[in-house]
Structure 1
Amino acid sequence: MNGFLKYFIAFLGSISFIVAIFLSSVQVAVYGDIDGYFLKEYRKYNVFENVDISENNLMYVTYEMLDYLDDKRDDLVIYTTVNDEEREFFNEREKAHMYDVKNLFNSGKSIRVKCLILTIFTYILVILKDKSFLSTISKGFLGAFTFVLATTITLTAIISSNFTKYFTIFHQIFFDNDLWLLNPEKDLLINIVPEGFFVDTAIRIGSIFIFTIMAISVLSVVLIFVDRKRRSL
């Protein structure tokens, strides 16, 4: 196996690894600090006042909703007090949409597992075929990092120019119905997570993702340097 082929295999494995890191970043961003993040966002967008719900009640709904998305509960039949009235929080349209969101979350988990399996397979292949496998894998990761970083910067520039437009396109790509088109006059879901919440969450995901792959890139540079020093002895 020639040098370029080994590098290319490491590059593909690293692309797969980075996809898994991105999907993990989504999970960390959403589930990593539920009390701190969601409470801060709800206060920032005056959700408690707009919906007329107490902090304790909305955080209860939030935890139950996230448990549902994480397959820890079977339904979204959640009762709480809104506007001084005991009621079911989600209506049928919202439940149907959240079922689609749950399927999207589950697809992400499945893709992450497959990406990690592909990463392990390609890295093992490089290890078996290359005595300087640490250097080769590190170079492959740096190449993948450069490609992904350039792609991320480009997409960020495009999306930030008109977030609403590309947020709509995202829904049109990943959902095959119009259940995501909620009415703020009737549907509470769109009131507790307004567009600004999704902007902040996208930034949060991106920050976790970029920090993680940059940290691994620094480690990759160190490993390349160590390998060169070792071979020069």
Structure 2
Amino acid sequence: MKTKLTKLFSTAIFIFMVLNVPVLAYLYSFNAVAFDSDFYKKEFLKHDVYLTLQSYNIDIINKNVLSYLAGSAAAIENDFFNEREKTHFADVKALIEKVLALYYYSAIIFLLLLSLQFCLSGFDVKKAAKKVFSALALGSILTLLTAFLLFAVANFNFDAAFDIFHNSFFAAGTYTFAPEFEKIVLLYPEKLFLDIFAKIIINAIISSIIIFALSASLLLIFFGSKFKVFFWKNFDGKSNK
């Protein structure tokens, strides 16, 4: 009975590790893209933002915004935005803080799961490594599958997805702006967010490919070429033989 429960618990941990991989991949990518000032400069050029707002130093303005959203600045210190726009940035900052908290907690949880897997493997490094590498490989495949799904959704109707996102996380009426007198939509046009979304997914795809390649290579080197054994025996508990 104890052995069966141990195997069941080990399988549950394995599944949670697999599910945690895409979460970490996407959140890591978000953290890397969201505060990349060089990326924004390229986007401003691409979408003619420098031309539209040529009377403003938008690189300085954007740097101030990113510093505020990252928590390194207490406030947005400029009169480029009105109070309504600044209130929206405060809402965005609160959401980003939750996203980053989820990222850090997910990383901690993954490490805890890894430690538990090691304990349940009887402190056998080889058995634990087999489970971990298999989880990373399967998690990478799951990341790729969800990435293609997200790309399909974005290409089908990004406007609808963008509206659903805002309706889900912001109060109605707090995220719509008039470009005639509110410059936030001129500095950050909707197409820029589509590019950010695509960049996050692309980075996650690259990360997952690298993780899969490394995990699969290590499985091949240390455990042989029968990937099916390493991937699917985790679910029936036979890998502890």
TM-score (norm 1): 0.86
Aligned residue number for residue 195 of structure 1: 190
User: Which of these residues, 31, 35, 42, is aligned with residue 31 of structure 1?
Assistant: 35
Q: Is the 8 A contact 2:147 2:205 kept in 1?
A: no
Aligned residue number for residue 52 of structure 2: 50
Q: Which moved more, 1:171-180 or 1:111-120?
A: 171-180
Shift of 1:18: 2.9
SS at match of 1:73: coil
TM-score (norm 2): 0.83
Aligned AA for 1:202?
Answer: F
Distance 2:176 2:66 in 1: 20
Shift of 1:204: 1.0
Please say if 1:121 is aligned against 2:112. yes
CA change 1:72–1:180 in 2 (3 A) is same
Aligned residue number for residue 15 of structure 2: 11
Aligned residue number for residue 138 of structure 1: 133
SS at match of 1:128: helix
Q: Is the 8 A contact 2:18 2:135 kept in 1?
A: yes
Distance 2:72 2:55 in 1: 24
SS at match of 1:61: helix
Please say if 1:107 is aligned against 2:78. no
Please say if 1:169 is aligned against 2:167. no
Shift of 1:44: 1.4
Identical-residue share of aligned pairs (%): 23
User: Which of these residues, 149, 154, 159, is aligned with residue 149 of structure 2?
Assistant: 154
What per-residue deviation string (whole Å, max 9, x for no partner) do you get for residues 149-168 of structure 1? 22232232122111111111
Aligned residue number for residue 95 of structure 1: 86
Q: Which moved more, 1:167-176 or 1:146-155?
A: 146-155
SS at match of 2:71: coil
User: Which of these residues, 214, 222, 230, is aligned with residue 209 of structure 2?
Assistant: 214
Aligned AA for 1:180?
Answer: Y
Distance 1:150 1:97 in 2: 33
Shift of 1:202: 1.1
Following TM superposition, the consecutive aligned residue runs of length 4 or more in structure 1 with deviations greater than 4 angstroms are: 1-5
SS at match of 1:162: helix
SS at match of 1:217: helix
Structure 2 regions of 5+ residues with no counterpart? 225-241
Distance 2:196 2:84 in 1: 23
Distance 1:227 1:178 in 2: 57
Aligned residue number for residue 66 of structure 1: 66
Q: Is the 8 A contact 2:143 2:205 kept in 1?
A: no
Q: Is the 8 A contact 2:25 2:204 kept in 1?
A: yes
Distance 2:117 2:180 in 1: 57
Shift of 1:5: 4.5
CA change 1:47–1:69 in 2 (3 A) is same
Structure 1 regions of 5+ residues with no counterpart? 79-87
Q: Which moved more, 1:102-111 or 1:36-45?
A: 36-45
Q: CA RMSD in A?
A: 1.8
Shift of 1:75: 1.2
